[in-house]
Amino acid sequence: MKTMMAAQLTEPEKPLELVKVPIPRPGRGEILIKVKAAGICSSDLHYQDGRSKVTKLPITLGHEVAGEVAECGEGVRGLNEGDRVCLFYLATCGFCMECCSGNDNYCNEAEMLGKNIDGGFAEYLVIAARNAFLFPESITFAQAALLTDAVATPFHALSRADIKTGDSVLIIGIGGLGLHAVQIAKIMGAGQIIAMDLEPEKLDLALKVGATAVIDPQKDNVKEKIENLSRGGVDVAVELIGLPKTIRQAIDCTGLGGRTVIVGICPEEIGLNPYNDLLLKERTILGSADQSRVDFPVIIELASKKRLDMSHSVTYEIPLEDINLGLEMLKQKEENLVRIVVTFP
Ligand SMILES: [Zn+2]
Ligand SMILES: [Zn+2]
> Domain holding 117: CATH number?
3.90.180.10
Residue 231: left if φ>0, alpha if ψ -120 to 50, beta else—which one?
A: left
Q: Are 336 and 315 within 8 A, CB to CB?
A: yes
Which region holds residue 282: left if phi is over 0, alpha if psi is between -120 and 50, else beta? left
Residues 217 and 163 in one domain: yes
Residue 67 forms part of a structural domain? yes
Mean pLDDT of 125-147: 97
* Chain mean pLDDT for the chain: 96
pLDDT given for residue 51 in this prediction: 86
| Whole-number pLDDT of residue 280 | 95
- pLDDT reported for residue 303: 97
Bridge partners of 285, per DSSP, are 260
User: Could you tell me if 36 and 120 lie in one domain?
Assistant: yes
3-class SS letters over 153-196: HHHHHHHHCCCCCCCCEEEECCCHHHHHHHHHHHHCCCCCEEEE
39 C-alpha vs ligand 1 centroid, how far in Å? Answer: 8
Cα 112 to averaged position of ligand 2 atoms, centre (Å)? 13
Please give the C-alpha separations between residue 95 and each of 100, 132, 292, in angstroms, as whole numbers: 6, 17, 14
- Domain identity same for 125 and 18: yes
Spatial neighbors of 55 by CB under 8 A, at least 6 apart, are: 111, 115, 116
Residues 172, 259, single domain; the answer is yes
Q: Residue 239 domain-assigned?
A: yes
Please indicate, yes or no, whether residues 65 and 111 belong to a single structural domain of this protein.
yes
How many residues comprise the chain? 345
> Rounded to the nearest whole angstrom, what is the distance from the C-alpha of residue 110 to the centroid of ligand 2?
7
- Domain match, 32 and 73 both: yes
In whole angstroms, give the CA distance from residue 247 to residue 286.
Answer: 11
Q: CA 295, CA 272: separation in Å to the nearest integer?
A: 31
The span from the CA of 333 to the CA of 331, in Å, is: 5
Q: Same structural domain for residues 62 and 118?
A: yes
Verify that 115 and 197 share a domain, yes or no: no
Give the list of residues 6+ apart from residue 267 with CB closer than 8 angstroms, or none: none
CATH at residue 198 = 3.40.50.720
Assess if residue 147 is contained within a domain: no
Banded pLDDT at 207 (limits 50, 70, 90): very high
| Residues around ligand 2, an ion, CB closer than 5 A | 92-93, 96, 99, 107
Query: Rounded to the nearest whole angstrom, what is the distance from the C-alpha of residue 240 to the centroid of ligand 1?
Result: 11
pLDDT at 36 over 90: yes
Rounded CA-CA distance 177/248 in Å is 19
How much is the pLDDT for 231?
86
CA torsion, ordered 24, 28, 30, 31, to nearest 10 deg:
70
Distance (Å, rounded) from C-alpha 223 to C-alpha 233?
9
Q: Crossing angle of helices 152-160/295-304, nearest 10°?
A: 120
Assess if residue 299 is contained within a domain.
no
Same domain, 128 and 164: no
Q: Give the Cα separation of 280 and 264 in Å (integer).
A: 25
pLDDT at 336: 78
Q: What are phi and psi of 34, to 5 degrees?
A: -85, 110
- The 8-class DSSP code of residue 102 comes to T
Note the pLDDT of residue 179.
95
* Distance from residue 41's CA to the centre of ligand 2 (Å): 25
Residues 93 and 192 grouped into a single domain: no
Task: Note whether residue 92 is domain-resident.
Answer: yes
Whether 254 and 236 have beta carbons less than 8 Å apart is answered as yes
- Among the bound ligands, name the one nearest to the CA of residue 151: 1
User: Separation of 91 CA from ligand 2 center, angstroms?
Assistant: 9
Closest CA to 178 of 162, 163, 190, 193: 193
335, pLDDT greater than 80: no
Smallest-distance ligand from the CA of 39: 1
Residue among 148, 87, 82, 120 at smallest CA distance from 310:
148
What is the model's pLDDT at position 333? 81
Domain count, the chain: 2
As a whole number, mean pLDDT of residues 98-111 equals: 95
Whether residue 98 lies inside any domain: the answer is: yes
Same-domain pairing of 89 and 168 = no
The yes-or-no verdict on residue 193 having pLDDT over 90 is yes
CA of 114 relative to ligand 1 center, distance in Å: 10
pLDDT of residue 140: 97
Judge whether 117 lies within some domain.
yes
Instruction: Report the distance separating Cα 183 and Cα 310, nearest Å.
Output: 10
pLDDT of residue 1: 83
Report yes or no on 141 lying in a domain.
no
**Interval between CA 108 and ligand 2 midpoint (Å):** 6
Q: List pLDDT tens digits, range 265-284.
A: 888 999 999 999 999 999 99
The residue-averaged pLDDT of 294-316 equals: 95
**Residue range(s) defining the domain that contains residue 234:** 154-287
* 158 and 130 inside one domain: no
Give the model confidence (pLDDT) of 223-256 as tens digits. Answer: 999 999 998 999 999 999 999 999 999 999 999 9
CB 103 within 8 A of CB 91: no
What does the pLDDT average to over 13-28? 97
* Percent over 70 (pLDDT), the chain: 100
Per-residue confidence (pLDDT) for residue 57, from 0 to 100: 96
Q: Give the percent of the chain with pLDDT over 90.
A: 95
Query: Is 330's pLDDT higher than 80?
Result: yes
